[in-house]
Amino acid sequence: MNDKQIFQIHADICQALTHPIRLEIIESLHEGEKSVTQLVEALQAPQTAISWFLSLMRSKGVVVPRAIRGRVSITGWAAPESALPMMKCTNSQ
């Protein structure tokens, strides 16, 4: 993979994280795999918004869905390791 491709991947990830709720989703998934229902409850956001954000984040390779007995669970960060420093700089804790 060349530098331009890596920069494009990083730009896609940044674009996928340009909303506070999306950052909250990543932070929540850092604690472990969650269902959409668990994310809705934890973030106190509408289910439609969480589902839409997860769809966008999945399309950019940021999160990975996993089907368990017909229910979808989000396993968390799927972006390349090279993108992890970008996430670390968003969390001041």
Domains of the chain: which residue ranges? Answer: 3-88
pLDDT for res 86 = 55
For 35-86, write each residue's pLDDT tens digit.
899 999 999 999 999 999 999 998 888 888 887 776 767 766 665 555 555 5
DSSP bridge partners of 76: 64
| Range name among 1-5, 30-34, 46-50, 81-85 with the lowest pLDDT average | 81-85
CA–CA distance, 73 with 67 (Å, rounded to integer): 6
Is 27 buried (19+), middle (13-18) or exposed (0-12) by CB count in 10 A?
Answer: middle
Choose among 76, 72, 66: nearest CA to 35. Answer: 72
CA distances from 57 to 3, 65, 67 (A): 22, 10, 17
pLDDT for res 84 = 55
CA–CA distance, 35 with 68 (Å, rounded to integer): 10
Q: What's the CATH fold of domain 3-88?
A: Arc Repressor Mutant, subunit A (1.10.10)
CA–CA distance, 93 with 88 (Å, rounded to integer): 9
